[in-house]
Chains A and B, each alone.
Chain A
Amino acid sequence: MSKVVAPGSELKSAGKLNIGLLLIALAILLVVLKPYLPEFLIRLPALLVVPFADAINFLFFFIKDDLGFIHVTRAIAGGVESLLDVTANLLYGKRRWPRIGPIPWTTIALTAGCIGYALGGWRLALLGVGTFCWAALMGQWKWTMETMSVIVVAVPVAVLIGLLLGVAAWRSTRFEKVISPLLNVAQSLPHFAYMIPVVVFIGVGPKSGAIVTIIFAVPPMVRMTLLGLRKVPPEVVESGQMCGSTKWQLLRNVRIPTARTEILVGVNQVIMQSLAMVVLASFIGMPGLGQKLLQLLQSLKIGRSIEIGITIVLLAIMLDRFSKAWAHRQPTHHERGTSWITRHKLFLIWVLLVAATLLLSTVFPLAAEIGRRQAFTLSKEFDAIVDWGLTFIDPVTLSIRAFLITQVLVPMRDAYLWLPFSAVITLFAGIGWYIGGRKSALICVAYVALIALSGWWDRAMITAYMVSAAVVLSALIGLPLGTWASRKASRAERVLLVCDTMQTFPSFIYLIPVIMLFGVNDVAAIAAVIVFGCVPMTRYTIEGLRGVPENLIEASDMSGANRWQKLRTVSFPMAVPTIMVGLNQTVMFSLFMVIIAAFIGTQDLGQEMQRALSSTDVGKGLVLGLCVAFMGLMVDHLITRWGSERQKLLGLSQ
């Protein structure tokens, strides 16, 4: 295939490569010559470190106290709190208006069952009932309801805000240009970075938990709303116009209903983000499952943490499946002349079930609430199984741990810390130039330089070392796994389902098994990151390889390629852009997870962030958060840029 190339562009791209390679060579030279380098090229002199944190603190306190913004946030928090009081009363009987709660657990479980049945038949009904029965029987009802009471408030609020912002961004390109980079940064800031300002403005407790959850969950909603509104076929809009709709009617009756699926996928993402955040919000005093899990993990009570972990996982799967089923539900009609009773059969059954359970719980208190003493517990059994298993696994994990720490991780960390910062900047400038020309090079230099200027260079390098170790290991596991899974359609489907399910778990959950296996140290943190990071890698490898056009596979079959040749020459080159999307996500997930894993003892940015959280140092927290975000954004920029060029080259997109 011949490609028409303007005469100048070939020269230009050659120049792009050359300058890029030159810069990379220069970086290597700087590393080699390190012993002879002047001190200011190895570490940025302390004089040059910009006190961003002080500036941010100054700004925050100026806004908070001098501008009186604290009253605004207090008012908002008050509003959220009154909503929280209502759900708290209904779900676990906090003594607040409307004073009718708590609703018996049987009622809630059967309600979830009915909702599940309406959305997706028996399987979802069973999932709904099962989840709440487990929580109730294991004596975790109150914590589960504390968590749910926040989700029930945070999700609608976040959806509403996201929808409004999304519509605004869709209507005004200028607003979109403002909000789009903000969303980028917001989605790459680690969870903790959100918490500190909220603590400053609102304090600790359930209402801050709810507010931080809302803030954290809004960005995906904005994006999905925008995407959905953009995807409405122009013909459908035109048909609405030709029916004489005004702009508002068009939005309400035509655009939003037609974008239903995307908007509901946004709702699904909001729910999952909320759950992840609610669990983590235990760090700022949010009661519920997260707090319990945090306490149990800190005291290394593995069996009971597994119990709570199962509840969180069940809750995550249930919320995910329910909201996905809702998003993909297609309307169906009843046959003509169907009676009102058959049309509303499920609703009537639900009303009957609610009445029955309410009645039942007045007679049998156990149907209303299962106290801690009546509850079952499997923690002893879990502990026994874990201990029994560990006696077999321990020699293996111990040797893995020892090998990784002494042979891989420590040398790697030392190497990262040994690197002169000037070499790192030059290296990324080179990579940027090689991939995307001068603009990318400047973007990379800006990100790295800002990290250096913030004064957290060493911490950032430790984070970078953990992330890169984890990403490499994730790729080493995920790529072969994905390749293996993609060989058969049914197998691919099953593995994708597992990946999907694992992605719905709040990241915190991943700490339970790794602490169980490796204890509390760097290896455990990295193992958690790997487990978390493998998922997107595997998933996108499968999707990339399965997405290779059938006719290409047939063509290479007919050329007599064997399986390995086919993989090497056709499938992988075609799948690489998709796999790179997976790599990108793996990096993002790893950054998030490394920061969360800080609480099991690492010495990176995450640890400092936890310190900033406990001393409510907004400036420091935000600077650290932005350092993490910059690393993520730089990798994202490079991979996206590379991927789109590659796709253009393969003719996969315009």
Chain B
Amino acid sequence: MSESSPLISCKGLWKLFGDNPEAYLESKKASGIPDFESLQADGYIPAVRDVSLDIAEGEMLVIMGLSGSGKSTLVRCLSRLIESTAGSIDVAGQDLRALDEKGLIELRRNKMGMVFQNFALLPNRTVLDNVIYPLEMRGQDKHTRRERALEVIKLVGLSGREDYFPRELSGGQQQRVGIARSLAIEPDIWFLDEPFSALDPLIRREMQDEFLRLQDMLGKTIVFITHDFDEALRLADRIAIMKDGVVEQVDTPDKIVLQPQTPYVARFTEDIERSRVVHASFLKEEISGAVPEGEALPASSTIHSLSRRLVDDVREVYPLVDDAGEICGQMRRAAALDVMLGSSSTPDSTT
């Protein structure tokens, strides 16, 4: 992931709501970065503060935070639905903030797709016409846009509902239309703003599975917003945790859970069942000397899925194999049990 240059890269990104925030921020920058309270005291609402992020091609970054943490504002800055106050955003080699309106529209017509929390479908258009809409904007001819729309509708499993109107569909189905619409132009970058938050828990789960299936197939670069930590852990390659407009930590789910860097992140991860998040590969060590004996464990499994084996099989060290079946390292049983049962060095396990 790290070799290719990032597809989206933002540096020192700010978004303040208030009166002439550019000049205000410029005047403040001389005396260091202003903190949340002093910004509020000056009558500004700091939504995004000094955020720097790199998102690699094909990566799924989940931005996680409670409501009001600035995650939605951040994704709107990245898609330039709102103008940022300061900082730079680089998308596919273009300076996003310097684009004129024509360039921006061109970028959205060809490279970006977005899914919205409340579906944001056009109520007067059928499913088919909603999905056709971005293609229509692009000026594609009638025949090919219809073909393409039918194709994506099939992809999201809504075949047969093409002539329905949004209000005739369930929430889950409506969001499928939203997903189909955002995929119609075959975007490189896919923004999803809390796409499943408005759905029932069961439907949400189903949609997450569906989403993972699509992502396996399509391999888009994804910025996914959620306030649901479980959802973030389930889907993400990397998670960015936001609080008061600041990104507190950006890391893989394993690291977020096992090595939280701020007290806020630690509080979040407290109640998480770690074994479901941490993968064997995360506990992988270099093999020093001989390969450990016995049956190897798959490195891509979570500790939770290996738990029965870990309990039954009392070897001290297990060899690990990667997806191709090659030995790639080893894992100590004690480390895995620590993840499952809580670390033996933490006070609560000594009592």
Contact = CB atoms under 8 A, between A and B. Distances in A.
Contacts of B138: 244
A333 B126 contact: yes
Given A244-B134, A244-B137, A233 B118 contact: yes
A239 interface: yes
Nearest to B161: A333
A8 interface: no
Contacts of B164: 333
A332 B165 contact: yes
Q: Which interface residue of A233, A236, A246 has the most chain B CB atoms within 10 A? A: A236
B160 A238 contact: no
Given A330-B167, A333-B168, A236 B122 contact: yes
Interface stretch (B22-30, B103-111, B216-224, B342-350): B103-111
A238 to B, nearest CB: 5
Interface string A232-247: 0101101111111110
Contacts of B73: none
Contacts of A254: 122
Contact of A239 (B120, B124, B126, B185): B120
A477 B196 CA distance: 52
A249 interface: yes
Contact of A257 (B124, B163, B181, B182): B124
Contacts of A246: 101, 105, 137
A242 B126 CA distance: 19
Nearest to A334: B163
B61 to A, nearest CB: 18
B198 to A, nearest CB: 11
A331 B123 CA distance: 9
Interface string A20-58: 000000000000000000000000000000000000000
B108 A235 contact: no
B120 A236 contact: yes
Interface in A214-258: 233, 235-236, 238-246, 249, 253-254, 257-258
Contacts of A253: 122, 133
B124 A336 contact: no
Given A330-B165, A332-B165, A332-B168, A242 B108 contact: yes
Given A242-B112, A245-B137, A235 B120 contact: yes
A260 interface: yes
Given A243-B181, A249-B137, A260-B124, A238 B116 contact: yes
Contacts of A258: 122-124
Given A233-B118, A238-B116, A333-B165, A257 B137 contact: no
Contacts, number: 84
Given A332-B168, A334-B163, A336-B163, A238 B120 contact: yes
Is the contact region of chain A dominated by helix, strand, or loop, or is it mixed? helix
Contacts of B118: 233, 235
Contacts of B168: 332-333
B240 to A, nearest CB: 21
A430 B167 CA distance: 53
Contacts of A249: 137
B108 A241 contact: yes
Interface residues of A, number: 24
Nearest to A257: B124
B114 A239 contact: yes
B329 interface: no
Contact of B165 (A236, A239, A331, A336): A331
Contact of A242 (B79, B101, B125, B167): B79
A233 B123 CA distance: 12
A244 B120 contact: no
A244 B80 CA distance: 12
Nearest to A330: B167
Interface in B159-184: 160, 163-165, 167-168, 178, 181-182
Q: Which interface residue of A244, A257, A258, A336 has the most chain B CB atoms within 10 A? A: A244
Interface in A256-281: 257-258, 260
A235 B181 CA distance: 14
A241 B101 CA distance: 11
A282 to B, nearest CB: 40
Given A238-B114, A241-B108, A257 B123 contact: yes
Contacts of B182: 242
B137 A243 contact: yes
Interface string A332-349: 111010000000000000
Contacts of B117: 235
B260 interface: no
Nearest to A238: B81
Given A242-B113, A244-B137, A245-B137, A257 B122 contact: yes
A243 B108 contact: yes
Contacts of B124: 257-258, 260, 331
A212 to B, nearest CB: 34
A243 B134 contact: yes
Contacts of B108: 241-244
A631 to B, nearest CB: 40
Nearest to B80: A241
A199 B116 CA distance: 55
Interface string B84-112: 00000000000000000100011011101
B183 to A, nearest CB: 12
Interface in A389-441: none
Nearest to A241: B81
B181 to A, nearest CB: 7
Nearest to B114: A242
A233 B116 CA distance: 11
A243 B133 CA distance: 7
A249 B114 CA distance: 18
Interface in A295-354: 330-334, 336
A246 to B, nearest CB: 6
Contacts of A245: 105, 137
Nearest to A258: B123
A242 B167 CA distance: 22
A203 to B, nearest CB: 43
A53 to B, nearest CB: 46
Nearest to B134: A243
A460 B265 CA distance: 71
B179 to A, nearest CB: 12
Q: Which interface residue of B76, B81, B120, B163 has the most chain A CB atoms within 10 A? A: B120
A95 B125 CA distance: 44
Contact of A233 (B76, B105, B120): B120
B165 A235 contact: no
Contacts of A243: 108-109, 133-134, 137, 181
Nearest to B79: A242
A258 B123 CA distance: 6
Contact of B106 (A235, A240, A244, A331): A244
A331 B121 CA distance: 14
A610 B298 CA distance: 95
Contacts of A236: 120-122
Nearest to B135: A243
Nearest to A243: B134
A330 B123 CA distance: 9
B184 to A, nearest CB: 9
Interface string B185-197: 1000001000000
7 contacts: A239-B121, A243-B109, A244-B109, A246-B137, A254-B122, A258-B123, A258-B124
Pairs A-B, 10 closest by C-beta atoms: A244-B109, A243-B134, A239-B120, A235-B120, A244-B108, A333-B163, A257-B124, A242-B114, A236-B120, A235-B116
Interface of B: 76, 79, 81, 101, 105-106, 108-110, 112-114, 116-118, 120-126, 133-134, 137-138, 160, 163-165, 167-168, 178, 181-182, 185, 191
Interface of A: 233, 235-236, 238-246, 249, 253-254, 257-258, 260, 330-334, 336
Given A238-B116, A333-B164, 7 more contacts: A235-B118, A239-B116, A242-B79, A246-B137, A257-B122, A330-B167, A334-B163
